[in-house]
Amino acid sequence: METCTFNEAKRLVRQLVAEKGFPNDESALSQKLLWAFVELGEAADAYKKGENWNVVSEELIDVIFYILDFIGLVEKTQSIEINVDRLFLEKWRKNMKRPKRYGQRRDLPRK
Ligand SMILES: [Mg+2]
């Protein structure tokens, strides 16, 4: 099965943005984040309406597209490199070291 890393996906999304002529300068950064929220809303709406899991999942992939687009645009406009694969693993390890249900004080069953 074909697979790709977050870093490869980021490069593919940035290629798509360039080829399709989507906004691609520093002034577009905030709208990339806004569209990520919009796509998350589309996923919630699809879920609410009982759409099949492929539809819901595809909307969630749209969220990831905008997140990776944002990060790639930050790299381009700030002349820095952001290793998304490394960041993911570092954050995963950090979270694994935290206590059970860290950060969740409410919505726990009462004892
Ligand atoms: Mg969508």
Q: Give the tens place of pLDDT for each residue, 48-99.
A: 999 999 999 999 999 999 999 999 999 999 999 999 999 999 999 999 999 9
Residue 102 falls inside a structural domain: no
Residues with Cβ within 5 Å of ion ligand 1? 39, 42, 59, 62
Residue 60 falls inside a structural domain: yes
Among 19, 10, 20, 13, CA closest to 86: 10
Asked whether the beta carbons of 5 and 85 are under 8 A apart, the reply is yes
Residue 46 falls inside a structural domain: yes
Residue 110 falls inside a structural domain: no
pLDDT tier, 111 (very low <50, low <70, confident <90, very high otherwise): low
Residue 1 falls inside a structural domain: no
Whether residue 110 has pLDDT greater than 90: no
Q: Which domain holds residue 31?
A: 6-96
Asked whether the beta carbons of 75 and 13 are under 8 A apart, the reply is no
Whether residue 107 has pLDDT greater than 80: no
Left (φ > 0), alpha (ψ -120 to 50) or beta: where does 103 sit? left
Residue 61 falls inside a structural domain: yes
State in Å: Cα 98 to ligand 1 middle. 33
State in Å: Cα 10 to ligand 1 middle. 18
Q: How many domains does the chain have?
A: 1
Residue 59 falls inside a structural domain: yes
State in Å: Cα 28 to ligand 1 middle. 18
